[in-house]
Structure 1
Amino acid sequence: MQFRENMRIGQRPKRVMWPKIIIIAVAIIALLVVLGAGYTYWALAPMRSAESRVEKIVHQKTDLVNLNQITVDYRDQTTYAVIGENAKGQQKVAVVQGSSQKVTTFPRSDGMSNQQLTKLLNDRYHPKRVYAANISYFKGVPVWEVSYTSDNGQLNYLTLDFKTGKAYRVINGL
């Protein structure tokens, strides 16, 4: 047998099997996507069950028929605010605090609109980015709970009166 530069004559170098490598890589990526989606679904299960419980309570104890939006606030206790419409088409807000069965409703038109709130925030506080603006209760009064970052990148937190926009509590630089 003749050798030529450490290789036997008549033997070919092994080829890389690109189709096998691609199939294995795609399978691994698909597995990671499925695992990530499953974990996300599992992690959000408590939130889904709480929201369905709140929806059921609101349907049972109020005249709201179409529920448009559910927000949650975790300040003192968990507070769910459900914005919906009654059979006459009037928008109302139903607030459920914690795990209680008590629902408080009031007309959405009693408070500032989303556009008015946005204008107030831009004029007074100049947010770089608003993270959340949820309806909640503070000392028995409906309020807006707003979290935003300022131009200098600091996280700020506001509690504003639902009707007037008066600041009850301002926390800057968290």
Structure 2
Amino acid sequence: MMQFKDDIRIRQRRKQKNVHWSRFWFIAAGIGIILSALTICYFYVSLTPMRRDESRLQRFVKAKTDIATVQQISVDHRQKTTYAITGTTASGKQKVAIVRGKSNQVKTYDRRNGLSDKQLRQLILTTYKPKKIYSANISEYKQALVWEVSYKGQNNTLNYVTLDFKTGSPYRVIKGL
């Protein structure tokens, strides 16, 4: 009789040591889903002001200029916030609208008067020999329309160059950040 009780105790101890791996993986997956949802919510909420500004700018530019279709909006925070809105008119002409901050003033420029994207890329590649071009956006610098270009230099440093919109001549060059 005593032997039978000891066998039961040994079996009970072994059962207690079993780990339910399915329960562990279920809890880990639940935590992963919750963290993913929180991350998505964080980015959605943090990008709301940007989406609101883009929507406001599209409505504003369509109302104040002859741009019918907005293709790209870029922002520059140099001294004051400047938005460059690239779009197409109803007749198919490409235009650039410049809006400073939240002002009600807009300046429009004919996109064909400046360097094309292909010409700008070729100019950057031949003149500055970058390893990688990060961005090339239209902006305004000292009341002139310019290209703001950031790129990775040969020595793996971040570089910025501000080029004239029409000719591509440099206004300022910042190397080695």
Q: Give the Cα–Cα distance (whole angstroms) in 2 for the partners of residues 74 and 129 of structure 1.
A: 22
User: Which residue, out of 45, 51, 56, partners 2:54?
Assistant: 51
User: Which residue, out of 139, 151, 160, partners 1:148?
Assistant: 151
Is 1:171 equivalent to 2:174 in the alignment? yes
Identity %: 49
1:10 corresponds to: 11
Is 1:72 equivalent to 2:88 in the alignment? no
1:12-37 CA distance string (max 9 Å, x none): 33321122111111111110111000
Instruction: Give 1 or 2 for the bigger CA radius of gyration.
Output: 2
- Write the letter of the residue equivalent to 2:20: M
Q: Give the Cα–Cα distance (whole angstroms) in 2 for the partners of residues 154 and 145 of structure 1.
A: 17
Q: Give the Cα–Cα distance (whole angstroms) in 1 for the partners of residues 66 and 170 of structure 2.
A: 31
Q: Runs of 4+ in structure 1 displaced over 3 angstroms? A: 1-4, 7-10
1:99 corresponds to: 102
- Write the letter of the residue equivalent to 1:126: K
Q: Give the Cα–Cα distance (whole angstroms) in 2 for the partners of residues 97 and 127 of structure 1.
A: 30
Q: Give the Cα–Cα distance (whole angstroms) in 2 for the partners of residues 99 and 10 of structure 1.
A: 75
Q: Aligned residues, how many?
A: 172
Q: Give the Cα–Cα distance (whole angstroms) in 1 for the partners of residues 120 and 11 of structure 2.
A: 80
1:117 corresponds to: 120
Q: Give the Cα–Cα distance (whole angstroms) in 2 for the partners of residues 141 and 42 of structure 1.
A: 35
5+ long unaligned stretches in structure 1: none
- Write the letter of the residue equivalent to 2:135: A
Is 1:19 equivalent to 2:30 in the alignment? no
Q: Give the Cα–Cα distance (whole angstroms) in 2 for the partners of residues 45 and 148 of structure 1.
A: 28
Q: What's the secondary structure of 2:15's corresponding residue? A: coil
Backbone CA RMSD of aligned residues: 1.5
TM-score, normalised to structure 1, is 0.93
